[in-house]
Structure 1
Amino acid sequence: MDRPPHPLALTVSSPIKIDIWSDIACPWCYIGKRHLEAGIAALGDDAPEVEIEYHSFELSPDTPVDFEGSAADFLAGHKRLPVEQVQGMIDRVVGIAANAGLEYDYEALQHTKTLKAHELLHFAKDQGLQLELKERLLKAYFVDGRHVGRVDELVALGAEVGLDADAAREALDSDRYAAAVQADIAQAAAYGIQGVPFFVIDGRYGVSGAQPAELFSQALTQVAGEREAAA
């Protein structure tokens, strides 16, 4: 685990904060989410209380909202790799996702710009529904083949987790959370984050990538132990 700057001093009794930089269109972010959840669950009754907050990160900010072509087509152009090689990469990540209990459907996947989805996640955070929306958006993108770049679709997905549809639409149409999204992206740059998922645990330890569940269990146990020792 790496140490990002700006450590936070927290008490033993307060929840362990887990800040996660993530993108809706990142297959490893959904896998990493499942691994984190499994790592917490594996601790059972010994699991410390945690508070999870997601932060915005755009892997491909130049993506159009309505991309014509498959995910393989986009990745081949973006990474300048042969389509056959990209398809092999996709097949590999689909297999790893399946081991995490996720059924990715790249045939149905609609590649799109995720900026508005990030704005909606900030709105959902203010409504106390960010975690629910994050799960719904990831499933919508990788499993259900929904278009998470269009406002109408985002409003509908938000309503599924309990967001007020009219308020969600107003938040997106007004760009009210655009600055918050850019602030997250700027903070990622300040931390030196170049790829996602990236987990910052307790404001002190950085975990990069969709690491195994065991690593998250160990990290949380270590942080809890350090707090107790410092108390």
Structure 2
Amino acid sequence: MQQTRLRGGGASAAPPEGEDMPVVPILYFSDVLCVWAFFAELRIAAVRRTFSDQVGLEFRFCSVFGDVPNKIATSWGTRGGYDGFAAHVRHAAEGFPEVKLHDDLWRGVRPQSSLSPHLFLKAVHLAEQDDKCAAGSFERALGAMRHAFFVDGRDIARLDVQRAVGEAAGAPAAAIQDYLDTGRAHAALSADYKEADVLGVKGSPTLILNQGRQKLYGNVGYRIIEANIQELLREPNPDQASWC
């Protein structure tokens, strides 16, 4: 998996002259249909601004909404079904006034599965690694896919919607189709899901640091994320246990 170093107006201290800048690797697991992962983009942007090239982010997918009808029936069947879940999502959004969700989210717009957009995005990622599409296409497509669902109210489980999002992000369908036809995208997505299981990822989003020693799951505040990164920058030796 390609590693993407977070960029932005870094505010952290530079290393002494002549020393290499430490880089904290982070595995970032998410489900594209998870509203908490959508909100977490605000915190990831803050990490970019603060730490710049001192953090290396590796994107992974996990399956929370792989079978949406069954998830709603099982978890929300006695609590209003799709309408109840839609109300829950809108209530969660009240804590993020800078984000406006589409009014029809989960009421009229009901993607069947996150597996389909995950597969498409893995194809975009592979194509970018092979220089078959523009640099940065994967991150742009990932953000645009979430925006298409949560803000624009589009069904991102549909291939035509995915292709439109990919085109706008610099990943035309012709550039990525081979990764879908040959099964390479399927293999990469399967590897993500297996890694999530091995690492004990319980939901979306999950940040894994320090070779799996530190897991930040769900609606974790930015200051907690920042403290974990700062501690690893202070003591980057993986054999030294973190005090966080």
With the length of structure 1 as denominator, give the TM-score of the two structures: 0.77
RMSD: 2.8
Question: Is residue 138 of structure 2 the alignment partner of residue 130 of structure 1?
Answer: yes
Per the alignment, residue 61 of structure 1 pairs with 66
Deviation at 1:33?
Answer: 2.2
Alpha carbons of structure 1 residues 151 and 87: separation in structure 2 relative to 1, 3 Å: closer
Question: How many residues were matched structurally?
Answer: 207
C-alpha displacement of 1:145: 1.2
Residues 210, 238 of structure 2: 8 Å contact kept: no
Conserved 8 A contact 1:197-1:208: yes
Distance 1:19 1:130 in 2: 16
* Alpha-carbon distance between aligned partners in 2 of 1:85 and 1:62, rounded to the nearest angstrom: 17
Q: Report matched runs for 1:159-170 at 5 Å.
A: 159-170=167-178
CA contact (8 A) 1:16 1:48 kept: no
Does structure 2 retain, via aligned residues, the 8 Å contact 1:40–1:217? no
Cα separation, 1, equivalents of 2:71 and 2:67: 12
Q: Is the 8 A contact 1:104 1:142 kept in 2?
A: yes
Contact 2:31 2:65 in 1 (8 A): no
The answer to whether the 8 Å contact 1:32/1:197 transfers is yes
Q: Is the alpha carbon distance of 1:86 and 1:155 closer, same or farther for their aligned partners in structure 2, counting shifts above 3 Å?
A: closer
Task: Quote the residue 1:225 is aligned against.
Answer: 234
Q: Please identify, of 195-204 and 83-92, the stretch whose mean Cα deviation from structure 2 is larger.
A: 83-92
Secondary structure of 1:53's match?
A: strand
Where do 5+ consecutive residues of structure 1 fail to align?
1-10, 65-73
Query: Identity of paired residues, percent?
Result: 19
Q: Say which of 42, 45, 48 aligns to 1:34.
A: 42
Distance 1:91 1:116 in 2: 24
Larger RCO, structures 1/2 (Cα 8 Å, 6+ apart): 1
Counterpart residue identity of residue 148, structure 1: I
1:202, distance to aligned residue in structure 2 (A): 4.3
